[in-house]
Structure 1
Amino acid sequence: MPFRFRSVILLAGLLYAGVALAGEVRAPKGVVELFTSQGCSSCPPADATLGNLAAQGDVVALSYHVDYWNYLGWTDTLSSRENTERQYGYAKTLGRSGVYTPQAIINGRDHVKGTDISVINSKIMELGAAGKGLIVPVTAAMRGDQIEIEIGAGKGQADVVVAYFTKHQQVEVTKGENSGKNMEYWHAVYDVQSVGTWDGQSMKLTLPGKLMGKSKKDGCAILLQASGPGGEPAAILGATILMAGRKKY
């Protein structure tokens, strides 16, 4: 078979499989939000799983460090009260009386323990098959020094939420349950902002690109997310992710 013909076949296969070319991948099949802590001895396997999910290229994978384990002797360097409040908001949405780590929230609709990637992927597929997947198209791109977001049409009403994260970090923990470990974290969220409201009609938004941070390792996820009566986070209808220095993801 001529080399040129083989190359064409290979390129077509990559495009069909949704493999990233020039920083682009297919639309994500789900959103995984991991609630974790540097002070939680059972969290390191889940943190590794989150990294593997991020590497899949077909999932919006985000890590939220909570602060309620800080009393155990180590203050999580990535934790925030806002992350804890987001997890408790999900507990209210899901009708739960409490929270735990490592907890993975899938599409804002269900939860599983965050350590098993096969269980997480199965839950994503299950929700998709039940019509509870990412049903509204969302895209984002860097245009000069601005972030341009496009959201398709659909049914319902939702907030346009942007979660800013750092792509990869390493933290040396010197106290607490993970004392002596050099921890590795992916897509740790450091800020969440609501930037607009979607009413079922297609829309476009433009944001300052400087909000994504100065580091080329930073990125953001755009979530089209419904909310409960008290403003608590609920079902995610669409999502995408954008890395600094890339045209599109």
Structure 2
Amino acid sequence: MQAVSKRQCINRAAKSAVAMALALLPFQAFADSFVQPKGVIELFTSQGCRSCPPADRAFEQLVRQGNIVALSYHVDYWNYLGWADTLGTPENTERQYAYAKTFGRSGVYTPQAVLNGRDHLKGTDATEINRRLEGMRSSGKGLVVPVKARQNGDQLAISVGSGIGKANVVVVYFREHQTVEMLKGENVGKSMDYWHSVTDVQTVGLWNGEPLDITLPARAISSDKSDGCAVLLQGADEEGNPSGIVGATVMMGRHNSLWLRKF
């Protein structure tokens, strides 16, 4: 057995102490190399809308791009055309109408892409969506507050950094991928791939500009209804309607284990 000097013992003890100190740090320190996503796109779409398939394909491109928080909300107001959207919910429709109030609009449309909760456009052009998000980031209307999330045992640990203002901490649960064949309606005969289809939206906390830690059950991500979630730091107008998003991240379920999307 190799002899160990007194200096080696001291070095090993020091390293052990550092490792223990790092292990005891709050979880907001776990990713020093954290990079903000480019932005958030929320696509309001419908299986019963003939104009939506091009937007759904553009949205898939943005999901695969990997540096954008992408969420797809299927609405239910086109169901009367003959095909009830299998992913649509009244809650998704309510969120879109809430955005309409934020933007001062009298109605809604599909496919609508809402960018960072601040602007909207027809969601068929991935290049233009990227350009708009870049412009927001350059003008200070991007994701300026760090938001991190990780699995901590059987819990989902969310960490929000410091900044200016107040915002809600919103968790958006979604299914990563589903393929649906339309049997009726305007898109009859089409088989479409849908990505990051929202199943539930929950406000879990209020951020007031100071660092904030929130813990949730991790099992909610790997349930029958969802296998991933996004965490949004989102403001609201005086009536409580959603407005600017200043921070965001995504977590996905993989083989009953969570991993953080690398932006």
TM-score by length of 1: 0.88
Q: Please point out which of 95, 98, 101 is paired with 1:86.
A: 95
Instruction: Confirm or deny: 8 A CA contact 1:25 1:57 kept in the other structure.
Output: no
Instruction: Confirm or deny: 8 A CA contact 1:217 1:243 kept in the other structure.
Output: no
State the match for 1:246 in structure 2: 258
CA separation of 1:25/1:71 partners in 2, compared to 1, >3 Å: closer, same or farther?
farther
Report the residue type matching 1:128 in the other structure. Answer: R
CA drift at 1:246: 3.4
Q: Does 1:190 align with 2:202?
A: no
| 1:122-168 deviation per Cα after TM superposition (whole angstroms, max 9, x unaligned) | 11011111110001000101122111000000011100000000000
Secondary structure of the corresponding residue to residue 246 of structure 1: strand
Count of matched residue positions in the alignment of Structure 1 and Structure 2: 226
Instruction: Confirm or deny: 8 A CA contact 1:26 1:58 kept in the other structure.
Output: no
Q: Does 1:103 align with 2:112?
A: yes
State the match for 1:112 in structure 2: 121
State the match for 2:164 in structure 1: 155
State the match for 1:129 in structure 2: 138
Q: Does 1:56 align with 2:65?
A: yes
Alignment RMSD: 1.5
| 1:214-249 deviation per Cα after TM superposition (whole angstroms, max 9, x unaligned) | 369710000000011221111001000001133322
Distance 2:175 2:107 in 1: 28
CA separation of 1:217/1:225 partners in 2, compared to 1, >3 Å: closer, same or farther?
closer
Secondary structure of the corresponding residue to residue 258 of structure 2: coil
Point out the more displaced range, 137-146 or 100-109: 137-146
| 1:22-44 deviation per Cα after TM superposition (whole angstroms, max 9, x unaligned) | xx984211000000000000101
Report the residue type matching 2:258 in the other structure. Answer: R
Distance 2:225 2:75 in 1: 25
State the match for 2:222 in structure 1: 213
Moved over 3 A (4+): none
Report the residue type matching 2:125 in the other structure. Answer: D
Instruction: Confirm or deny: 8 A CA contact 1:49 1:114 kept in the other structure.
Output: yes
Distance 1:228 1:84 in 2: 18
Q: Does 1:222 align with 2:231?
A: yes
Instruction: Confirm or deny: 8 A CA contact 1:168 1:186 kept in the other structure.
Output: yes
The gaps in structure 1 that reach 5 residues or longer are 1-23
State the match for 2:183 in structure 1: 174
Distance 1:80 1:248 in 2: 27
State the match for 1:71 in structure 2: 80
Distance 2:95 2:259 in 1: 29
CA drift at 1:49: 1.0
Instruction: Confirm or deny: 8 A CA contact 2:220 2:226 kept in the other structure.
Output: no
Instruction: Confirm or deny: 8 A CA contact 2:173 2:226 kept in the other structure.
Output: no
Instruction: Confirm or deny: 8 A CA contact 1:168 1:185 kept in the other structure.
Output: yes
Instruction: Confirm or deny: 8 A CA contact 2:199 2:226 kept in the other structure.
Output: no
Distance 1:216 1:85 in 2: 20
Distance 1:235 1:104 in 2: 14
Secondary structure of the corresponding residue to residue 127 of structure 2: helix
Distance 1:115 1:26 in 2: 27
State the match for 1:27 in structure 2: 36
| 1:46-79 deviation per Cα after TM superposition (whole angstroms, max 9, x unaligned) | 1111111111111000000001100000100100
Q: Percent identity?
A: 58
